[in-house]
Each structure stands twice: as C-alpha cells, then as structure tokens.
Amino acid sequence: MMKISVSDAAKRFNREWIFHHFNYTFSQGVSYAITGPNGSGKSTLLQVIAGATVASNGKIVYQINDYLLPPDTAFRYISLAAPYLELIEEMTATEFLQFHSMFKPLQSSKRIQDLLITVGLREARDKQIRYFSSGMKQRLKLVQAIFSETPCVLLDEPCTNLDEQGVQLYQDLIREYCSGRLVIVSSNDEKEFSFCKERINILDYK
C-alpha cells in the first residue's frame, strides 16, 4: 500500500506564495480532489506531490508498506496526466505507448492495441500523434496514466478537450481501473472529481 505524507509544504514563485503550511497524508484506496479557482495553485500543488516540482519549504515522504522510498525513485510508482505534459508527436499512438512502457510498465494483463480500442483510438493506432485532435491526445494521456502499473494516479484537469462522450469514457475508466489505487484529481469541475471521497480546497492554504 502506498502513502504520501506532505509536511508543512509551501511553494513560492518570486515573492508570491502559491500555497503554504500544507499538511496532508494521502493513502492508497482513497480518492482525493484538490479544488479551487483557476490560477489558484492546484496544478502546482499536484506537481509538488508528484515530485515533479520541488517545494520551497516542507517535506514529502513516499512510502510503500513500511518501506520509505528514496524521493528520486518515487516517480516509478506515480503516473500523471495533465494538459501541460507533452506527447512525442512524431510517434504513432502505438509507438508512444511502447516507448512509455520502457520506463513505466503498463498493466501486464493489457495489450497496447486493446488499450487503444478501449479509449476509441483503434483507427488512429498507426497515425502520428501530431495529426491527432486535442481530444484524441487527451485520451492517449489518460491511457498512459491510468493503465500504467502504478499504485498512484494523479490527474490534472483530466477532461480537458474531451467532449461529452470523452467525459463519460473518463468516468468509466476511473470506475473500472482506479479502484484500490491512490487517486488525486486537481480540478474545479465537479464532473472530473465527483467520485472523490476527500476534498481539499487550495484556498485554505493561502
């Protein structure tokens, strides 16, 4: 079981504090939502939790059962989907997932072609990503995050560029494949985090 403990974390850009005195313990099997207005720091907090951005103050401890993970190895246990993450657009969808799986294995019971069928990208499997629509790119980002063999899934505005059908797909993927995992969603849109049991308002840490 994975646990992420954040102690007195803060992040500052120039002279502005984005958030401070953030204390929280995230446990596997529970889903969390980080909410707040646009530009309030939700994404920054999620990146700090992921270890993708270094906190200005505070400490983050990653733990698997009773084993403390070295911070520089925690990424192996965490998958992330976010609008600002770039895809390798010269690759096809199949090539991208094959490349991704070299660094973060996909769930062993799933074939790449089956995953692409699941998210409605079967016909685009051999198309270069640069020719994808924004919605297709978002579906591919959800694949690499949700189907990675990780106990922790972090999702930043996961329905960005998705139409109504895509939103329903996202909700289905969460229900079918994220049970028992540690899930944190950064969003101000209820349809993206309605399943989350715990809610964190970033404004409480200003």
Tens-place pLDDT, residues 30-86: 999 999 999 999 999 999 999 999 999 999 999 999 899 998 899 999 999 999 999
Lowest mean pLDDT among 6-10, 58-62, 103-107: 103-107
Report how many domains make up the chain: 1
Query: pLDDT value at position 159?
Result: 97
Residue 21: domain span:
2-205
pLDDT, one tens digit per residue, over 177-202 is: 999 999 999 999 999 999 999 999 99
CATH number, domain with residue 68: 3.40.50.300
Mean pLDDT of 155-171: 97
| Three-class secondary structure assignment of the chain | CEEEEEEEEEEEECCEEEEEEEEEEEECCCEEEEECCCCCCHHHHHHHHHCCCCCCEEEEEEEECCEEECHHHHHHHEEEECCCCCCCCCCEHHHHHHHHHHHCCECCCCCHHHHHHHCCCHHHCCCEHHHCCHHHHHHHHHHHHHCECCCEEEEECCCCCCCHHHHHHHHHHHHHHCCCCEEEEECCCHHHHCCCCEEEEHHHHC
Indicate if the pLDDT at residue 109 is higher than 80: no
pLDDT, mean over the chain = 95
Query: pLDDT value at position 108?
Result: 75
Percent of the chain predicted with pLDDT > 90 = 95
